[in-house]
Amino acid sequence: MIDLVVEGRLFLDGELKQGCVGIENGRIVAVKKVLRGETKIDAGYRIVLPAAMDPHVHFRQPGMTNKEDFSSGSLAALHGGVTTVLDMPNTFPPTDRLAVLKDKKRIVRGRSYVDYGMFVTTDLPRRLEAMAPHVAGLKIFMGSTTGSLLDNDDKSIHRMLRKAEALHVPVSVHAEDDSMIFHEEAGSLKDHLRNRPADAEFNAVRRLIALGAKGVNICHVTRAEILDMATEAGMSSEVAPHHMLLDIGSPLGARGKVNPPLRQPLAKDALYRAVAQGKATMLGSDHAPHTVDEKSEDFDICPSGVPGVETMFPLMMAAVKRNDIPLATLVRMACEEPARRFNVPKGRIEEGMMADLAIYDPREMSTIEGSRLYSKCGWTPYEGMEAIFPQTVIMHGEIQLKGGEPCGETIGRDIKDEPL
């Protein structure tokens, strides 16, 4: 008999259908109307989705573990229905060479509640070649932001894109043209937007298109027009909830300081609509935790970034409930596409896939409270907003979250070094 069976309204082929998922050795072994198992989870009328994957987090380990570390960050992920994260390389030291990558992996190993992959950054093709077998992707920073990593030179970017393509390493780009960023004193979200205009983003994307950057992923797109530009050029796009839900009119002050910046209300609304119409490839939180103390500094010296891995899917589930976004669009952006693009056998409820599932009760709308979140940073820019958090999360066939609370062990694995 099958080890574990989950019964409920399953998300299959773009719609919800009553049925059973059979799980053995961490994998989905059957999807049928009726299945019998040693153990059964009856989700009843609740909906059973593939767990989400966040292709863009900053878990800050090593080097800045006062802000976050892999244990706290991965608990936050789990609480938000995310069982795979890709961590960015602007840790300290930056993940820019094999020795540092190996150290980072050694430090993180055994501490994560969810599966993870590591992005690296380098402008040296030979370094990328050495790291390639162990990485989820290459990150290119065309604009300066937290950490001082920068590669904004067409020749160098072109060289790295070619190398990454030859090595089959996915590339994600922070697309803000650094030469178009001003460094004037800023005291408000409006000033910060003036310093980092949308033109800087448009121009970075135009340059990538001119470089023939097919297949590249544009991170945290803030403008609806760029979603179309990316698609037309054969690139993928990633959108973060903060650019869809928050704008420069928000009372967040320095807490809302982030790169690329929050934009005008109209631009935000247009982005939200475009995402709802299915124009974005993926959701990515750009979870960038900084402590409450750091975010309470004067605007000008306060670090950029907002947390989000924990609230991304729950906020979007609330949007689905309000009929703002079709469920199928959300699952495609947050589950199917990230898994497909980064080669993780997840994202769909299908035989052979990893048994990573999240169960939601669509009637359980709650409001976000920073004090109830697991991220070490201790605050959220979404305080008081509507969200639907998962009740149960299963990863590798193990129950990792129950009754909305994490209950598992640090069984997360590296998607490259310990194949799932």
Binds ligand DOR by CB under 6 A, chosen from 65, 71, 145, 237: 145
| Nearer to ligand DOR (CB atom), residue 160 or residue 288 | 288
Q: Which two tokens stand for residue 345?
A: 């056998």
| Nearer to ligand DOR (CB atom), residue 65 or residue 145 | 145
* 277-336 positions binding ligand DOR, by CB under 6 A: 288, 304-305
Residue 58 CB, nearest distance to ligand DOR (Å)? Answer: 4
From ligand DOR, Zn ion, none, interface partner of 258 (C-beta below 5 to 8 A by class):
ligand DOR
Closest among 142, 135, 49, 143 to 100, alpha carbons compared: 135
Distance in angstroms (rounded) separating the CA atoms of residues 155 and 249: 39
Residue 91 CB, nearest distance to ligand DOR (Å)? Answer: 9
Helix axes 198-210, 154-166, angle to 10 degrees: 60
Asked whether position 90 contacts ligand DOR by CB under 6 A, the answer is yes
Distance in angstroms (rounded) separating the CA atoms of residues 397 and 413: 14
**Which of 115, 191, 247, 286 is an active site residue?**
286
Asked whether position 391 contacts ligand DOR by CB under 6 A, the answer is no
Distance in angstroms (rounded) separating the CA atoms of residues 310 and 75: 9
Residue 143 CB, nearest distance to Zn ion (Å)? Answer: 8
From ligand DOR, Zn ion, none, interface partner of 104 (C-beta below 5 to 8 A by class):
none
**Total count of residues recorded for the chain:** 420
| Nearer to Zn ion (CB atom), residue 96 or residue 286 | 286
Closest among 82, 49, 84 to 360, alpha carbons compared: 49
Specify the DSSP element, H or E, that contains 55. strand 52-57
Distance in angstroms (rounded) separating the CA atoms of residues 379 and 289: 9
Specify the DSSP element, H or E, that contains 396. none
Count Cα neighbours of 286 within 13 Å in the Cβ-side half-sphere. Answer: 27
| Nearer to ligand DOR (CB atom), residue 254 or residue 258 | 258
Kindly state the DSSP code that residue 171 receives in the 8-state scheme.
E
Whose tokens are 């979870």? That residue is: 287
Burial classification of residue 184, based on how many CB atoms lie within 10 Å of its CB (0-12 exposed, 13-18 middle, 19 or more buried): exposed
| Nearer to ligand DOR (CB atom), residue 90 or residue 329 | 90
What is the contact mask toward ligand DOR in residues 250 to 279, using x (rule: CB under 6 A)? --------xx--------------------
From Zn ion, ligand DOR, none, interface partner of 90 (C-beta below 5 to 8 A by class):
ligand DOR
Residue 133 CB, nearest distance to Zn ion (Å)? Answer: 24
Please say if 286 is a catalytic residue: yes
Residue 259 CB, nearest distance to ligand DOR (Å)? Answer: 4
Chain positions contacting ligand DOR, by CB under 6 A: 58, 90, 145-146, 174, 258-259, 288, 304-305
Which amino acids are annotated catalytic?
Answer: 286
